[in-house]
Amino acid sequence: MSANSSNSHHSHHSHHSHHSLDIRHKSLLETLGDAVSKVLDPYGVTTSLFHAQVSWMLHPQEFQRALTALSSDLLALQLHLMNRAAGMPSADVIAPHADDARFADPVWTESASWDIVKEWYLAFTRHFEDMLFETPGLSDKERRRSAFWLRKWLNMVAPTNFFWLNPVAMRRFAETKGESLEQGWENLQRDVAAKNILMVEPDAFAVGRDLATTAGKVIFRNRLLELIHYAPTTEQVRAMPILITTPWINKFYILDLTARKSLVKYLTDQGFSVFITSWKNPGEDMAGTTFDDYLLEGVAEAVRVVREFCKVPQIHLVGYCIGGTLVSTYMAWANRRFGPDKMPVAHWTLFTTLTDFSHPGDIDVFIDESCIAALEGSMARKGYLDGSEMAASFRMLRSNSLIWSYWVSSYLLGEPLPAFDVLFWNMDSTRMPQAMHSWYLREMYLHNNLIKRNKLSVGGESIDLDGIVQPLYAVTAVDDHIAPWKQCYRIRKQINVAAPVRFVLSTSGHILGIVNPPANPPKRAYWIAEPERNEHWEHWFERAEKKPGTWWEDWTRWLGERTGPLVAAYPVANRQFPALGEAPGSYVLDK
């Protein structure tokens, strides 16, 4: 959009200065490269690295400086090697990152020869990555993308991924008299058949038997969702019910994994009346389903049903991830549609939710015109984006922990897959309808239109987040690479200055920062404070109070102050909304 206007400006300008060299337009090489990459390499896997290479060749002085930095490290490495070879103690020149578990086995430090392999690998990877982050003459985005893909290539060729370069795998082979590799071969056959590097056995758990077991009934169903009401476990509940809008990128039971980890069970036991959305897993018949449909037939319908079910004027609304982005859009829509007197939501909560997509984290490397066009081409053939494709890109963002660690443990060490409920849920992916997903990628990620006042029109209303005045409780996580917390923090600036905001930053990531039950002793911690309208995140963080444990307790206390008096518990189903089936319902079982 803006590219065209700037080009016309440049061409107009160049009439006056045709003697000077115009380097603002793309070179013939870049233009050709772009045309080829759109067809052959829309994600920039090789072209971004090629662009970086050409840029370094065009900047010989900077290249020389980078080589000097590398050679000084190599000298230190040489000294380290000589010391180790002579049996003298010597600290590692380059230590692995704290979260890099590949070289955790003591053999990588204690054995001089394996220490040398590790150090050479780390020295070169660290320098190549730094060089790409500092590539002269490339945009920030292109630098990040080339460094990202280089990191993926380097992760792939790590010594730990090869049997003859992995001392742990060779030791295991000797200890098991070759059985580990035999089992590794069987694991490889299993994954080839599954067309995936499995993280958990597909039959490790059954939904409704081991997971999603909190008692409840489906009390409403339409083409987009089933609405579940959980059976009360207390004689009295708060008058105002809670409706949780889950993401439709995965299945809803992440919030009801097991009795101990279940947020819905915890809320129900605390005396709240809890409803949750379970979204339909779309097939090609839903290709034309739009974001407007998710708002009107999804969250707006669910809000209506919950109010009618409990016969209350207002409810508390929760949104998680993309469900939270929908809830934020709905809150702006509802404030405009209903006005202050008829607003059906009294206050709301967001879990790890982006509303400002200017820096969406690592997924940024997949967001540009050619990536989205490639995805749209793939969706047009099927009518949806396959869940496995989405899962693969998220795994790619964390390839060491989500791909290569399974490669090593399954194939080189011959280990069985762990029966881990969160991983099982993670593999139980869903599809995205073509129309909704294309719109979402373009309007939210590519153009960042949700934060622009009245730029988007959804469900017949123009969307202005500044129209939201209801109190908000927002939860984020330190290690979240899908919704980075500093980006989520911007919600304070986007909604109305009159809306009180309580902002939480939990330890852990996108899933375990939320699925965060009370534990004794506490496993996690959180920072909490109420940010001012224009307060910078750094300032907020400095004054925020750090507390041990889980934010669940603070949230239920906050909810308890706002959800009205205790009343006789609402029945799990009623005459107006009879039970259509037991929780977890039927939509969640669709593969």
Show which residues are catalytic.
321
Q: What is the DSSP string of 512-524?
A: TTTS----SS---
Of 306, 357, 348, 310, which is closest to residue 330 (Cα–Cα)?
A: 348
Side chain identity at residue 334, one-letter code: A
Q: What is the DSSP string of 442-481?
A: IIIIIT--TTSTTT-EETTEE--GGG--S-EEEEEETT-S
Q: Which two tokens stand for residue 88?
A: 């003298």
Task: Please classify residue 225 by burial: count the beta carbons closer than 10 Å to its beta carbon, then call 0-12 exposed, 13-18 middle and 19+ buried.
Answer: buried
Q: Are 383 and 372 in contact (CB under 8 A)?
A: no
Q: Which two tokens stand for residue 367?
A: 């967001």
Task: Please classify residue 440 by burial: count the beta carbons closer than 10 Å to its beta carbon, then call 0-12 exposed, 13-18 middle and 19+ buried.
Answer: buried
Q: What is the DSSP string of 293-320?
A: HIIIIIIHHHHHHHHHHHT-S-EEEEEE
The answer for residues whose C-beta is within 8 angstroms of residue 211's C-beta and 6 or more apart is 205, 253, 256, 257, 258, 421, 424, 425
Distance CA 26, CA 13 (A): 16
- How many beta carbons lie within 10 A of that of residue 556, not counting itself? 16
Of 533, 535, 484, which is closest to residue 505 (Cα–Cα)?
A: 484
Find the length of the chain: 591
Q: What is the DSSP string of 318-345?
A: EEETHHHHHHHHHHHHHHHHHHHHH-SE
Q: What is the DSSP letter of 164?
A: G
Distance CA 86, CA 84 (A): 5
Angle, alpha carbons 344-448-531 (nearest 5°) = 60
C-alpha 363 chain-centroid distance: 8
Angle, alpha carbons 306-310-313 (nearest 5°) = 80
Distance CA 282, CA 433 (A): 6
Q: Are 215 and 230 in contact (CB under 8 A)?
A: yes
Alpha-carbon distance values, 549 to 505, 544, 554 (Å): 12, 15, 10
